[in-house]
Amino acid sequence: MSSLKKRHIFVTAEKSKASARFVKNLAQLHSVVEASKPLPPTHDILKKFFKNEKEYYKDIFDTELSKSIDNDNNNYVFYTQSKPDKILEFFPNSIIINYTQDPKQVVKDIVDDSVNSTYDLEYDYLIPQDNNYLRFINILKQKRENLTKADVWAFEHKKKFWQDKYYDQYFKNVENKVVSSMFYRSNIERDDIINVSNKNNIANIKSKLEDLLS
């Protein structure tokens, strides 16, 4: 059976300290394991390298996933920024958790991480060497040691590396995307999607997930 048809757990959320903690908390349940290398990431992680989401899941994700989980009884929890309904298109048998949280804290977490963290291409082995966006990133890395995520954003928008004067514009750019995304998430009401907020009791969520997995 295709690994895309197997049952997984997806926490779809804006990347933040709170949502990362939530995923790690779920991974403390029996048989639940946080998905990490060598398992492939969801499309949102590599979307600038692979424009076609359907082809990515069919040609790359499924192949890589099959190598690791065909004889594995673990339940993997994937942490993704992709919207819940989009994930359901490709993983209709899976458990989808839609995690909403305070937009202000999310924006702060994203901006702080972008400005202070080195750009780490963790899954470069999945990307063909002639990929145009990979070439772009490699050129930037050659020009700037300790390239940051903010450097990449600045070069994409300003054709220059990061400068502090870009902070307000970048913050607003991130804020607009997060607020829009959170509004979308907050209005999802579907029986096949579990809505959770950072204010929910984690013990109750774990109990519900255990019941679904049993």
**The pTM of the whole model exceeds 0.85:** yes
Other Cβ atoms within 10 Å of 155 Cβ, number: 19
CA distance 90 to 164: 40
> What does the CA dihedral 138, 141, 147, 153 come to, rounded to 10 degrees?
-50
Mean pLDDT for the stretch of residues 27-38: 92
Going edge to edge, which strands form the sheet with 75-80? Answer: 32-34, 75-80, 9-12, 95-100, 193-197
Q: What is the mean pLDDT of the chain?
A: 94
In this predicted structure, what is the pLDDT of residue 4? 73
Amino acid in the structure at residue 130:
D
pLDDT tens digits, 167-184? 999 999 999 999 999 999
In this predicted structure, what is the pLDDT of residue 72? 67
Of 33-37, 154-158, 166-170, where does mean pLDDT reach its minimum?
33-37
Q: In the predicted model, is pLDDT for residue 45 greater than 90?
A: yes
**What domains are there in the chain, each with its CATH number?**
3-213 (3.40.50)
Mean pLDDT for the stretch of residues 49-63: 95
pLDDT tens digits, 187-197? 999 999 999 99
